[in-house]
Amino acid sequence: MSRLFVAIGCFALLFSSLVVVPAPVAVGQEPKEQAIKIRWFGQSFFQIESAEGRKIAIDPHAIPAFGRQSTTAEFILISHSHDDHALIDMVEKEKKEDQFKEGDILRGVVEPKPGKQEWKTIDEKRGSIRVRTVATYHDTMNGMQRGKNSIWVIEMNGLVICHLGDLGHELSPEQVKAVGKVDVLMVPVGGIYTINGEQAQNVMKQLKPRLYTLPMHYGIVGYDELAGPEEFLDGIKKEDIKKFPETNEIVIPVNLKLDAPQIAILNWRKEEPKKEEPKKPDPKKPDPKKK
């Protein structure tokens, strides 16, 4: 019997030596949830930041109504060559002394000579980030009116982000298949030069984004060349619309799951917190300093 107790004791000692006790974590050093960040600068201009802090800029512009904002990026994606989508001077490298090389500016539509446009098929990896194009048109007339357009599909941190550029038509089954699964969709909704709100809803239904749809390329106060987002939001349940009136940024955890996809309405700038004005002394109360 004593041998049995000794055997049990030895086994318990061996098992306890195999149990790994996690090291204590200091306050403030708890592991943070990985997330990507998307920032909107009006029109179709976005900055996407990976969980590791790598940044991409898409379709930069300098429209005065949006404050001529600039940002930083490792590389730039351009859907087509119109000025309100291709002003690379509005983007800087993280280190200002660095300059963009030609390989850092990826154009989905190129012009080998004036008046002649061609799609440039791109599918490349830059480290852990994959970017690729899907050929589309800027209008409903096979490009005869406004030319060609490229959709950008970006894969990072396990999420798929789709930027439709200046899409001018609903998608064909072949284009939907080429895009593939989408977690976050950026869709033009302002009409006139692109699809309108109703068509944008149809494209959203075609691509079925799992998490968020971010409307873009629409009119705001002071910029009425395009319609606002109202037509796009018409008929959408209020609980499926998430508004960010004070910021142009949305943070998306890489493991996020939602009960239903949402439409995120971002501000085109991040509002600065208002400074509180110092309180004026009440004339009825005696000043303690004069006592």
* Under 8 Å between Cβ of 136 and 107: no
**pLDDT of the residue at 199:** 98
Span 40-68, average pLDDT: 94
Does residue 275 surpass a pLDDT of 70?
Answer: no
- The Cβ of residue 191 has, within 10 Å, a number of other Cβ atoms equal to 20
Which pLDDT tens digit goes with each residue over 97-126?
A: 788 998 999 999 999 888 889 999 999 999
Which pLDDT band holds residue 280 (cuts at 50, 70, 90)?
low
Span 257-275, average pLDDT: 86
**pLDDT of the residue at 85:** 80
Does residue 20 surpass a pLDDT of 70?
Answer: no
**pLDDT of the residue at 86:** 84
CA distance 126 to 157: 13
Phi, psi of 68 (to 5 degrees): 45, 50
CA distance 219 to 230: 10
Does residue 245 surpass a pLDDT of 80?
Answer: yes
Span 162-178, average pLDDT: 98
Strand partners, 71: 91
83 Cβ partners below 8 Å, 6+ apart?
61
Does residue 182 surpass a pLDDT of 80?
Answer: yes
Tokens for 188, please give them: 């033009």
**pLDDT of the residue at 43:** 92
Please indicate whether residue 155 or residue 275 has the higher confidence score (pLDDT): 155
List alpha helices for 29-158, DSSP H: none
Tokens for 284, please give them: 């009825």
Please indicate whether residue 180 or residue 223 has the higher confidence score (pLDDT): 180
CA distance 115 to 258: 45
SS (H, E, C) 246-263: CCCEEEEECCCCCCCCEE
Which pLDDT band holds residue 96 (cuts at 50, 70, 90)?
confident
**pLDDT of the residue at 19:** 44
List alpha helices for the chain, DSSP H: 2-18, 173-179, 197-207, 230-233
* Under 8 Å between Cβ of 111 and 78: no
- Mean pLDDT of all residues in the chain? 87
pTM of the model: 0.83
CA distance 239 to 116: 46
The burial class, CB within 10 Å (0-12 / 13-18 / 19+), for 6 is exposed
- Please tell me what DSSP assigns to residue 170: P
* Under 8 Å between Cβ of 236 and 204: no
Which pLDDT tens digit goes with each residue over 133-161?
A: 999 999 999 999 999 999 999 999 999 99
